[in-house]
Amino acid sequence: MIFAPLPRHAPMGIYIHIPFCSHICPYCDFTTYAGKESLIPRYVDGLARDLARQAQSVQDREIVSVFIGGGTPSLLDGDQMRAVLDACRDNFTLAPGCEISVETNPNSLTQPLLTAYRDAGINRLSIGAQTMDRRGLRRLGRHHESDDVLVALENAHAAGFERVSVDAIFGWPGQSLDIWKQDLETLLGTPHPPNHLSLYSLIVEPGTPFADAQARGILHMPDDDATADMYELAIDTLRDAGWTHYEIANWSWHPGDYSRHNALYWQHGDYLGAGAGAHGHLDGVRTMSHLLPERWCEAVENDGDTVSNRESIDVRNGLTETFLMGLRLLQDGISADAFERRHGVTIEELSGPNIDAMVATGLVERTDSGIRLAQRGAMLANDVIARITEFDMAAARSP
């Protein structure tokens, strides 16, 4: 099973964070800063140094995915992107066919830049379209136009990218079901459409300008029913068009063409985090690096600790996370054998009665290999996962 939870010393990934944006969107709570782009050359040097240092602790591990996220990684030029990837190639063992992805903003994706990225080794693009509706782009505070997305898709094709994902958001203020339908139809109807879609419902995160505006009563979000209708529309539209809904928020055109990097998260697998604000997860310890890029650069340059927070994952949290992440996988779900190998306890011993209750309501299915969410369960995933992870730790034994 592709998505079985990983054993220790299994192949792993590298997450590289680029914490720079040309402006900050009002709904965004990622670690990113506007107006600090002049730091980029110093930051790229720091990444090369940090990657070389971190590689020493995982020399026995094969890297199956490198993900460059942000922020806006497409603020890096081709030479800077190559320098980051050379540091990966020089210091780690990259598996044949290693997925190397970069998150991008549509308005910077010229063909020369994409060709340079392709030559540098990037083999998967993720384009942050968010919506194809002009009014929606302004509501979301985006600085690109929907035409930029279409041009970016053309340029990606011309540059030779075979794996292209588009991110879109539904449930933004003022969005109707018709506008969302139009978004999906526009994306699917382009001459060179993406072959992967990540569709997220907009969550108003605390501390963002959206949260502030909502608290002052000047931002009106669609209600839960309207958002659920949009999700259901996406499920139906993409199913009818032949797409595979393989994870709660992710669809692939070719079955099995999932995001291998995200699969590491969903498998509760290991990945190093490099860069300011980057998260890592290695051998049962979660790490987070210094948030401020200047602070992170100083730590790297002085051979100091780039990590500001380390958290050991205890047995309960480890079990909960395997359920939480594995149940997001709508096709594969959780492998009972792999779960037991990893945790030393079976799914049934741990949460059998909860699973029975969810199966009885039609929200969870038992499969030949384990359990997974049923289609209806995907709509109520948080509730289902909360119920299944209400288990008694007395059932857990040491692996």
One residue of 1, 28, 241, 307 binding ligand SF4 per CB under 6 A: 28
CA distances 238 to 151, 173, 185, 253, 364, Å, are 23, 23, 10, 9, 22
One residue of 10, 11, 30, 253 binding ligand SF4 per CB under 6 A: 30
Q: How far is the CB of 9 from ligand SF4 (least distance, A)?
A: 33
Nearest to 197 by CA among 168, 227, 239: 168
- Please report whether residue 72 would count as binding ligand SF4 according to CB under 6 A: yes
- CA 105 from chain centre, in angstroms, equals 15
Q: How far is the CB of 102 from ligand SF4 (least distance, A)?
A: 13
Dist CA 258 CA 165 (whole Å): 10
One residue of 74, 101, 104, 105 binding ligand SF4 per CB under 6 A: 105
Residues 7 and 264: beta-carbon distance below 8 Å: no
Dist CA 45 CA 49 (whole Å): 6
- Please report whether residue 136 would count as binding ligand SF4 according to CB under 6 A: no
Which is closer to ligand SF4, CB of 108 or CB of 227? 108
- Please report whether residue 24 would count as binding ligand SF4 according to CB under 6 A: yes
Number of residues located near ligand SF4, criterion CB under 6 A: 11
Structure-token pair, residue 209: 């300008």
- Please report whether residue 32 would count as binding ligand SF4 according to CB under 6 A: yes
- Please report whether residue 373 would count as binding ligand SF4 according to CB under 6 A: no
Dist CA 350 CA 208 (whole Å): 39
- Please report whether residue 108 would count as binding ligand SF4 according to CB under 6 A: no
Chain residue whose CB lies nearest ligand SF4: 28
Dist CA 42 CA 299 (whole Å): 12
Stretch of 69-77, 224-232, 261-269, 309-317 contacting ligand SF4, by CB under 6 A: 69-77
Dist CA 105 CA 109 (whole Å): 7
Stretch of 9-17, 23-31, 253-261, 365-373 contacting ligand SF4, by CB under 6 A: 23-31
- CA 349 from chain centre, in angstroms, equals 31
Residues 22 and 75: beta-carbon distance below 8 Å: yes
Q: How far is the CB of 115 from ligand SF4 (least distance, A)?
A: 23
Structure-token pair, residue 290: 């210094």
- Please report whether residue 40 would count as binding ligand SF4 according to CB under 6 A: no
Which is closer to ligand SF4, CB of 147 or CB of 383? 147
- Please report whether residue 25 would count as binding ligand SF4 according to CB under 6 A: yes
Dist CA 21 CA 253 (whole Å): 30
What string of DSSP letters covers 195-245?
Answer: SEEEEEE----TTSHHHHHHHTT---PPPHHHHHHHHHHHHHHHHHTT-EE
Structure-token pair, residue 147: 């035409």
Structure-token pair, residue 274: 């490099």
Stretch of 21-29, 51-59, 172-180, 300-308 contacting ligand SF4, by CB under 6 A: 21-29
One residue of 71, 171, 333, 370 binding ligand SF4 per CB under 6 A: 71
Matching residue, tokens 């927070």? 309
- Please report whether residue 14 would count as binding ligand SF4 according to CB under 6 A: no
One residue of 70, 173, 222, 280 binding ligand SF4 per CB under 6 A: 70
Which is closer to ligand SF4, CB of 54 or CB of 105? 105
Q: How far is the CB of 36 from ligand SF4 (least distance, A)?
A: 12
Residues interacting with ligand SF4, by CB under 6 A? 21, 24-25, 28, 30, 32, 70-72, 105, 128
